[in-house]
Structure 1
Amino acid sequence: MPNSLNPLLQTHFDTALEHPNGIKKLRELILTLAMQGKLVSQDPNDQLASELLKEIQVEKARLLAEGKIKKSEALPAVKEEEKPFVIPKGWEWVRLGEVGEMQTGTTPETKDQSNYGKFIPFIGPGDIKNYKIEYNENGLSEKGLEKARLIKANSIMIVCIGGSIGKVALNDRDVSCNQQINTVTPYNSIFYHYIFYSVDSPYFQKTILQNAGGSATPIINKLKLSKIPIPLPPPAEQKRIVEKIDELMALCDELERLKKSKETKRKDLHQSIITQMLEADSQESFQKYFQFLTTHFHELYSVKENVKELRKAILQLAVMGKLVEQDPSDQPASELLKEIQAEKARLVEEGKVKKSEALQPIKEEEKPFVIPKGWEWVRLGEVLQKFGAGSTPLGGKSVYTTDGIMFLRSQNVWNDGLYLDDVARISKSIHEKMKGTKVIGNDILLNITGASIGRSTIFPLNFEEANVSQHVAILRTFTPSIVTYLHKLIISDFFQNLVFKEQVGVSREGLSMTKLSKFPLPLPPLAEQKRIVEKVDEFLALCDELEERIGKAEEKRGEILKGMVNDTYSRNCI
């Protein structure tokens, strides 16, 4: 950053660069300093702003006499209590409506298509993006313009309604606009850029919101907008201010490009390392990339996006058998499968579960990666004794009660547990009628429809009774010993990719139970499953710590950045 930069900007530069919204706040500080006369030095030889106002009045009178503008109501002088900060000697407080012709756009009759054509652009709020106007081919005809308003080039266009209220842009050509935009066409075109920056300043934007009416949708009319005071410097200083703002905004643009490039490189490097770890064909190769990751840990994990990717990688490495070392003394997964088959046979014989059709062996082309020795590929249906969706009681929401049995819906099921703030409840009698939808401790719940498809959690042991809706599937294993590993596998990218590949319909209408039962899963030895779960929990706890640390750092920088403008503003307030 240039040595000639304002000390206030220099002080907060590093903070601004490291915060997600830092450069935005830096831009706000630049405009705040500019409006307060702190961005460039004053020159006692400059023509006073009071003289400029006299020239503006002369220009306005001429335009009125020539019929080029309409006579507007005289605006009252700016009162002392309306002046939010002290301005330098030679400046003047004026109302926005004093420095230019103000207009509100209008829309010609849309049913009459002869009003529309390519004679002049017709602008709406959606055409104003990033301070620039996207000029569409569709505009007004000459006839249409007669029923609309002509906005001359180099006018300030201000959105006056809705969520984008206060959004501004300069038009570089004559246009027309709809009624959701107010415009200011300066009487003296020399300083239109200064007026643009004034309107975009944090002070002016805050004042717009303070004066906006409307209970649900904020709106500010032309009269209220015209009465907002702005600080007016001498013409020569306006020029210096605009030049300095342009210089600093260009620097902010460059900083944003550099920041984006840095973040992209960091993300690409992180993704490359993760990919190399996932594709490593030996433990030696894996350790090489893992060591690089740990060496550059703090640099790579200073942003939440990379921590999110790390979470995914941990789970993926876990199900591929790369997160912990194998122990040749572990009982192989094939023995675990024999125990599961024996338990299944016992339950069938006792009539506790129905005999199911045998699932086809897993083909080689269904195996997306090589699993370690001692592991087995199995289909999900092979390890489950209960496998099906819930249902909704007859009567829908009308059967919900204020107390009773929990009725879990997809919005209650999250990967990190049950969210019960808005849990529905049903009566004991309905609960008993819906026996097939009852859940018990260690059941895995899986969302199978809608935007939350694939989200999953384990129903806790010794939890109160519950039923589930048709949007949630119950997965109950033959042995509780594999539940925790199976849940980690379900929330991994490996399983989630299968879900999104096999879901019914393009709108995530539902996940077929038949297809779900056929999903191929990598099953480790039971002892290794325990080690995997412990290691995953350890790493995910580290991810929680990282995100908390990043969040606190961003919060601290955010407080500093918020104070940048507020402190600058308050130190100069009356």
Structure 2
Amino acid sequence: MVKSLELKTNVNAESLSSEQLITDHIDIWTSAIEQKSSAGRGTSNKFSLYGIKKLRELILELAVRGKLVPQHPNDEPASVLLERIVAEKAQLVKEGKLKKQKPLPEVGEDEKPFELSQGWEWSRLSQTGLGSTGKTPSTKQPIFFEGNIPFIGPGQITPAGIILKSDKFLSESGLGHSSEALPDDIFMVCIGGSIGKAAIVVERSGFNQQINCISPIYIISTYLYFALSTYSFYSSVLEKATGSATPIINRGKWEELLVPIPPLEEQHRIVAKVDELMLLCDALEAQTEASIVAHQTLVETLLNALLLPNTTQQTTTNTSNTLADSLEPAFDNSDASSPEPSLTNSFEKAWLRIAEHFDTLFTTAASIDTLKQTILQLAVMGKLVPQNVNDEPAAKLLERIAAEKAQLIKDGKIKKQKPLVDFEGLGEMKKPLPNSWEWIRLADTADLVRGGSPRPAGDPRFYGGDIPFLKVGDITRKSSKFVEGFNSSITEAGLHKTRLIETRTVLLSNSGATLGIPAICTFPATFNDGVAAFVERSQFIFDEYLYLYLSTLSKWFLDIASRGQGQPNLNTDIIKATWFALPPLEEQYRIVAKVDELMALCDQLKARLSDAQTTQLHLTDAIVEQAL
């Protein structure tokens, strides 16, 4: 791939070294990947190709510093080109087409950001063409917006320099009360978070006051666009901008910014070379993204093979040892040989395929996250730890749980359970389990209640006291299985308008886009109506196993609750009716211990991966710095 994309040109020594810097470090550009936030569900769009992004920036910087293509001594120098622009402007003033402009200060030596190649010149931006600032016609005149001339705002200009289709159009009279841009003019956003975004105009347009425009004279528009798109120019924009929260650069300061101008013939060579190298970047980007997607698909396919149910109910075996014993040495030493199990069933064969290639499969944050989810699924299928014939089977626990619940009803602590609802997809949950396990409902594990919020919200009679008051964000924003704190509290008066839970209560978010996420609260607290609590939990259900099981249902809960609804809401009837895989009590503890152990190993692997990625990013930055 790399060899086929290498560029074969005759260049001088300096430009050759720059080009080799690009092609000789392809592995760095493609492997430097920046991980984004892991918040939310799924794994899509959680990385950026940092190396290729920096490569694009480097190409533009080399281009405007005269280091990308050779200089030719016979090229007409840029100084002559600038004199021609001055003469053209003078003629426009003479013809009354342009107002006489104030003289600009000479470019001082201390202003020049870097040395230019022979034949190049530094120029103020306004010296390269005619500048203008946008204007919005009065919306009180509907006729101004009844034409077909696109009216452009910052939202239509993308970071990639593309002008998106406008949803507003001006009439000729509307354009007369706006500012006009013609093809090959250059837009730049000059205010707000998108300050510095630039694009070449492709059709006659109007534009608003958040955009400045330059109409080049005797300068190739594409070259000038490249120059305005460099990180060095963007830095100069920010340096001259005022305001920190909302930066803005006025037209006067914008037009005084410096732009490196090469001879006209070299501009053509630069544009051709940049276009060629950007196509290389496009190819590398597509190849890298395809590789990442294919890698993740392979990981998911192999891991999903572990989750295939057996055709008959499992018997007590030590199959789960295959996973644990193979996984641990794979974390400790990627070159270590995994134990070879006796291949007695499809599960063991599937795991052996993964264990043999562990060090090449789990090399991304997404693949490790998928592995963690698979571990959870295996845990609640009875495939993570071995069953022990001496454990009291779950069938016996059912009798104890029933007696326990009858006593709670008799004591008035809970109400008699109503008939459970049925809904689409419920029956599909039940898969084959080990012989010692049983399927029960979540309603059998505890009494499920929803919280409440004192009204009116913020009333000082109810809020601001010493009693913790949990909201959905307190449940979902955590780095472990436990609630890590709270942002609201209530008074004793507010306590009568909500619910109080004891320590180690399992909670479940049940509204909004983050519904279906569980947490264990280790302190007494109250909670709002966006949270459900498993109170009066059976002593035969380990709270951390219940948490673990609920963690495997998060996406399922969201899908069920979202059906036919704009705002997902998970009602308690759905939660109560949901099936729950009940292992023997002793096995519940073994499962949780093994999951904790393997999750810690996954986190260690992820931390090492993060360190390696950080090193790659620093290496990429070092190469760019060296080149410039």
Name the residue aligned to 2:487.
Answer: 423
1:491 equivalent in structure 2: 551
**How big is the alpha-carbon RMSD for the aligned residues of Structure 1 and Structure 2?**
2.8
Residues 461 and 494, structure 2, Cα contact 8 Å, conserved in 1: no
Is structure 2 residue 88 aligned with structure 1 residue 59? yes
* Corresponding position of 1:81: 110
213-222 or 264-273, which moves further after superposition? 213-222
Q: Is residue 256 from structure 1 mapped to residue 285 from structure 2 by the alignment? A: yes
**Residue 157 in 1 paired to residue 157 in 2?**
no
**Could you tell me which residue of structure 2 aligns to residue 14 of structure 1?**
27
Which structure is higher in RCO with an 8 Å CA cutoff and minimum separation 6? Answer: 1
Amino acid at match of 1:522: A
Match of 2:374 in 1: 313
Superposed displacement of residue 489, structure 1: 0.6
Q: Secondary structure at the match of 2:542?
A: helix
Give distance in 2, aligned partners of 1:550 and 1:210: 36
Match of 1:337 among 385, 398, 409: 398
Written as runs of structure 1 = structure 2, the 5 A alignment for 1:362-401 is 365-384=427-446, 386-393=447-454, 396-397=457-458, 398-399=460-461
- SS of the equivalent of 2:307 reads helix
Q: TM-score, normalised by structure 2?
A: 0.82
For 1:183 and 1:55, locate their aligned partners in 2 and report how far apart those are by CA, in whole Å: 21
Find the residue that maps to 1:43 and give its secondary structure: coil
1:38 aligns with 2:98: no
User: Aligned in 2, Cα 1:443/1:155: closer, same or farther, shift over 3 Å?
Assistant: same
1:266 aligns with 2:258: no
- Once the two structures are TM-superposed, the CA of residue 328 in structure 1 deviates from its matched residue by 4.5
The residue type equivalent to 2:501 in the other structure is V
Rounded to whole Å, the distance in 2 between the matches of 1:196 and 1:403 is: 59
Contact 2:310 2:432 in 1 (8 A): no
2:274 aligns to what?
245
Whether the 8 Å contact between 1:489 and 1:495 is mirrored in structure 2 is no
Q: CA deviation at 1:10?
A: 4.2
Q: Decide whether aligned partners of structure 1 residues 564 and 67 sit closer, same or farther in structure 2, where only a CA change above 3 A counts.
A: farther
Cα distance in 1 for residues equivalent to 2:561 and 2:270: 60
Between 246-255 and 83-92, report the one with greater CA deviation.
Answer: 83-92
CA distance in 1 between counterparts of 2:407 and 2:435 reads 29
Counterpart secondary structure, 2:286: helix
Aligned pairs for 1:465-504 (under 5 A) are: 465-476=524-535, 477-479=537-539, 481-492=541-552, 494=553, 496-502=555-561
CA distance 1:193–1:433, change in 2 (3 Å): closer
Change (3 A) 1:400 1:89: farther
Distance 2:554 2:164 in 1: 43
Q: Do the aligned residues in 2 keep the contact of 1:450 with 1:507 (CA within 8 Å)? A: no
Q: Of the candidates 157, 163, 170, which is equivalent to residue 200 of structure 2?
A: 170
- Equivalent of residue 276 in structure 1, options 296, 305, 309: 305
Amino acid at match of 2:365: K
State the distance in 1 between where 2:90 and 2:421 align: 90
SS of 1:6's partner is: helix
Q: Percent identity?
A: 37
What one-letter code is carried by the residue in structure 2 that aligns with 1:423? N
SS in 2 for 1:407: strand
Distance 2:226 2:73 in 1: 23
For residue 368 of structure 1, report the CA deviation from its aligned partner: 4.1
SS at 1:449 equivalent: coil
> Would the alpha carbon gap of residues 389 and 199 (structure 1) be closer, same or farther in structure 2, given more than 3 Å must change?
same
Distance 2:270 2:116 in 1: 14
Greater CA drift, 309-318 or 16-25: 309-318
2:610 aligned residue? 551
Answer yes or no: is the 8 Å Cα contact 1:405–1:431 preserved in 2: no
Superposition pairs of residues 183-262 of structure 1, within 5 angstroms: 183-189=213-219, 191-262=220-291
Contact residue 504 and residue 512 of structure 1 kept, 8 A: no
2: CA distance between counterparts of 1:469 and 1:199? 52
What's the CA shift string for 1:165-224, capped at 9, x where partnerless?
A: 1111112333222222111111115x2211111000000011111222235322222111
Residue ranges of structure 2 left out of the alignment (5+ in a row): 8-15, 34-49, 312-343
Q: Measure, in 2, the Cα distance between the counterparts of 1:253 and 1:361.
A: 51
Match of 1:87, SS state, is coil
User: 1: CA distance between counterparts of 2:255 and 2:605?
Assistant: 49
- Structure 1 residues 541-550 or 393-402, which shifts more? 393-402
Deviations 1:135-172 (A, max 9, x none): 44853222223223322211111111222111111123
Q: How far, CA to CA, are the matches of 1:152 and 1:71 in structure 2?
A: 22
Q: Residue 298 of structure 2: SS of its match in structure 1? A: helix
Give the distance between the partners of 2:614 and 2:142, measured in 1 at CA.
Answer: 53
Higher mean C-alpha deviation, range 397-406 or range 72-81: 397-406
Distance 1:346 1:85 in 2: 83
Q: Please state how far the C-alpha of 1:65 moved relative to its aligned partner.
A: 2.9
Contact 1:393–1:399 (8 Å) recurs in 2: no
Return the letter of the residue paired with 1:530: Y
Unpaired runs of 5+ in structure 1? Answer: 570-574
Aligned length: 561
Q: In structure 2, what residue type is equivalent to 1:218?
A: P
Counterpart residue number, 1:518: 577
The change in CA–CA distance for 1:17 and 1:496 in structure 2 (over 3 A counts) is closer
Offset of residue 341 of structure 1: 1.8
Q: Tell me the distance in 1 between the aligned counterparts of 2:494 and 2:206.
A: 64
Secondary structure of the structure 1 residue equivalent to 2:181: coil
Q: 2: CA distance between counterparts of 1:328 and 1:150?
A: 83
